[in-house]
């Protein structure tokens, strides 16, 4: 086990979420205490983002690990950014890309499974979705179902805005779209969700 420079460790422990630049520099320098703190500081948010998109805890854990591995390898390139993107937005962009990649792989696997089941006439037992296993009441289940019916571009802005409580500016950074487009997509998403939920309740 490495023995850390106590002064550096104590400095890391004084870091706050509002001041990530020195912490990032320490991570690039190989300070393991800094790396651990960086991961601890952001892992919950990254996991929740991944879970919101892939709806599977094991897969979200995998995406979280992949995100931090990729981010730590790419930290030097982040420090050279010239577009003003915050570290949180940069990290969430990596998480989002890995989540989308997992969804694409899942679709390929699902198509293969359906093909094999058709060929061999295998009856598979239907399992409850991860959302149904987590949510506590029927209204939340209905919202998740309605949300999953939205196109990805609308679904993701809703997830980032209301489940992760990110600002319009942060969503704009993460998705690399202007703030007007974020507002437009949120408006469209809310209207479609409202119409779907009204239809479900027969109102």
Tell me, yes or no, whether 26 and 97 share the same domain: yes
In this structure, the answer to whether residues 54 and 140 fall within a common structural domain is no
Q: Check residue 80 and give its pLDDT.
A: 62
| Domain-ending residue, one of 97, 124, 151 | 124
Residues 60 and 118 reside in one and the same domain: yes
- Give the pLDDT confidence score for residue 93 in this predicted structure: 92
Last residue of a domain, one of 95, 124, 153: 124
The verdict on 2 and 80 lying in the same domain is yes
Same domain, 97 and 37: yes
Domain span at residue 101 reads: 1-124
Q: Are residues 108 and 178 in the same domain?
A: no
- Domain edge (last residue) among 124, 153, 171: 124
Question: How many domains does the structure of the chain reveal?
Answer: 2
Instruction: For 85-131, give the DSSP string.
Output: --HHHHHHHHHHHHHHHHHHHHHHHHHHHHHHHHHHT--------HH
Same domain flag for 110 and 166: no
28 and 94 co-located in one domain? yes
Check residue 66 and give its pLDDT: 95
Q: pLDDT, tens digit, for every residue of 43-100?
A: 999 999 999 888 889 999 999 999 999 999 998 888 665 456 788 899 999 999 999 8
Same domain, 90 and 174: no
Q: What CATH code is carried by the domain that includes residue 60?
A: 1.10.1740.10
Statement to judge: residues 137 and 71 lie in one domain: no
Residues 102 and 48 both lie in one domain: yes
Q: What is the predicted pLDDT for the residue at 188?
A: 92
81 lies in the same domain as 19: yes
Q: How far is CA 189 from CA 71, 103, 145, 175, in A?
A: 30, 20, 13, 16
Q: Which pLDDT score, from 0 to 100, does residue 45 have?
A: 93
| Whole-prediction pTM | 0.63
Domain with 150 in it: what CATH number?
1.10.10.10
Q: Which residue positions in the chain have pLDDT lower than 50?
A: 1-18, 82, 112, 116, 119-126, 131-136, 203
Instruction: State the pLDDT at residue 119.
Output: 43
pLDDT value at residue 91: 93
């Amino acid at each position: 086990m490495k023995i850390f420079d106590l002064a550096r460790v104590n400095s890391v422990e004084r870091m706050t979420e509002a001041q990530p630049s020195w912490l990032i520099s320490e991570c690039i320098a190989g300070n393991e205490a800094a790396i651990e703190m960086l991961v601890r500081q952001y892992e919950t948010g990254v996991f929740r983002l991944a879970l919101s998109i892939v709806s599977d805890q094991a897969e979200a854990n995998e995406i979280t690990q992949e995100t931090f591995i990729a981010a730590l390898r790419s930290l030097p390139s982040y420090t050279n950014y010239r577009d003003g993107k915050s570290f949180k937005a940069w990290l969430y962009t990596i998480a989002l890309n890995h989540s989308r990649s997992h969804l694409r792989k899942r679709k390929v696997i699902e198509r293969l499974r359906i093909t094999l089941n058709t060929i061999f006439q295998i009856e598979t037992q239907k399992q409850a979705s991860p959302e149904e296993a987590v949510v506590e009441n029927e209204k939340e289940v209905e919202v998740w179902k309605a949300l999953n019916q939205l196109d990805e571009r609308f679904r993701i802005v809703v997830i980032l805005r209301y489940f992760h409580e990110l600002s319009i500016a942060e969503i704009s950074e993460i998705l690399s779209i202007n703030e007007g487009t974020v507002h437009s997509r949120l408006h469209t998403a809310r209207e479609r969700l409202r119409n779907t939920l009204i239809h479900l309740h027969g109102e």
